[in-house]
């Protein structure tokens, strides 16, 4: 798993960097997905619902919850995540999203 977490606490993403994560799409999120890695992301991050709804990982409230999920996921659940991430990564790495945005302009 790639971890999208920022701030000054393991209990929540607090401080100025945590607040920024509420509105930002961090580069490391795209990097993890392009590298075929499911992600664990703070549940109040701007991209948390996107990750959940596309089956690309799990939004988490704390680092402890992230550890619990990563260590407790079964093989079938993980293989489904990886399949979803691989499909998304293929589009991301081929420029699909950029090309679609430019075409729509």
Question: Which whole number is the average pLDDT over 38-44?
Answer: 97
Does the pLDDT of residue 87 top 90, yes or no?
yes
Give the pLDDT confidence of 8-31 residue by residue, as tens digits.
888 988 888 888 899 999 999 999
pTM for the model: 0.90
- Give, rounded to a whole angstrom, the gap between the first and last alpha carbons of the chain: 34
Task: Give the HSE-up count for residue 41: Cα atoms under 13 Å, Cβ half-sphere.
Answer: 30
Give the angle 76-52-15 at the CA atoms, nearest 5°.
Answer: 125
Alpha helices in the chain (DSSP H): 15-21, 27-34, 48-53, 63-72, 75-94, 96-104
CB atoms within 10 A of CB 94: 10
């Amino acid at each position: 798993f790639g971890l999208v977490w920022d701030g000054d606490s393991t209990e929540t993403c607090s401080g100025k960097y945590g607040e920024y994560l509420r509105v930002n799409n961090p580069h490391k999120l795209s990097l993890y997905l392009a590298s075929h890695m499911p992600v664990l992301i703070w549940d109040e991050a701007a991209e948390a619902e996107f990750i959940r709804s596309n089956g690309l990982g799990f939004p988490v409230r704390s680092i402890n919850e992230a550890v619990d999920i990563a260590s407790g996921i079964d093989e079938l659940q993980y293989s489904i995540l990886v399949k979803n991430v691989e499909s998304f990564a293929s589009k991301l790495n081929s420029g699909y999203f950029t090309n679609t945005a430019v075409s729509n302009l």
